């Protein structure tokens, strides 16, 4: 015997909500793609070394409290921002990039 259409709809809604919650908890808050590499995280990240040659394509997706990518073009320093990408964006590196930081 099967349940009523309302019972079936409730079960599907519960299953759908559970699936969406699972996706949200397992997905990354940010993703940086550059120079054939993918970097991901679930929270803001302080200054990190990276080597992105001039002319490379950079793709950024940020959300959930880690929306902003800052890029730095002075080796060993994260004090002067070279480029900033907020939310989602694609850019080309017009200089070599040596560091990045993810901010809320």
Question: Over the stretch 29-44, which tens digit does the pLDDT of each residue have?
Answer: 999 999 999 999 999 9
Domains of the chain: 29-103 (2.60.20)
Name the β-bridge partners of 58.
34, 91
For strands 37-41 and 30-34, give the pairing: antiparallel
Question: CB-based contacts of 50: which residues, under 8 Å, 6+ apart?
Answer: 34, 39, 97, 98, 99, 100
Question: Over the stretch 18-77, which tens digit does the pLDDT of each residue have?
Answer: 444 434 444 569 999 999 999 999 999 999 999 999 999 999 999 989 999 999 999 999
Q: Smallest Cα–Cα separation from 97: which of 59, 71, 60?
A: 71
């Amino acid at each position: 015997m099967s349940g009523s259409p309302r019972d079936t709809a409730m079960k599907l809604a519960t299953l759908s909500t559970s699936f969406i919650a699972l996706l949200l908890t397992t997905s990354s808050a940010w993703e940086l793609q550059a120079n054939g590499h993918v970097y991901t995280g679930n929270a803001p990240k302080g200054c990190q070394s990276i080597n992105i040659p001039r002319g490379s394509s950079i793709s950024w997706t940020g959300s959930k409290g880690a929306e902003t990518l800052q890029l730095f073009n002075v080796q060993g320093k994260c004090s002067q921002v070279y480029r900033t990408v907020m939310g989602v964006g694609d850019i080309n590196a017009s200089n070599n990039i040596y560091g990045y930081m993810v901010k809320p």
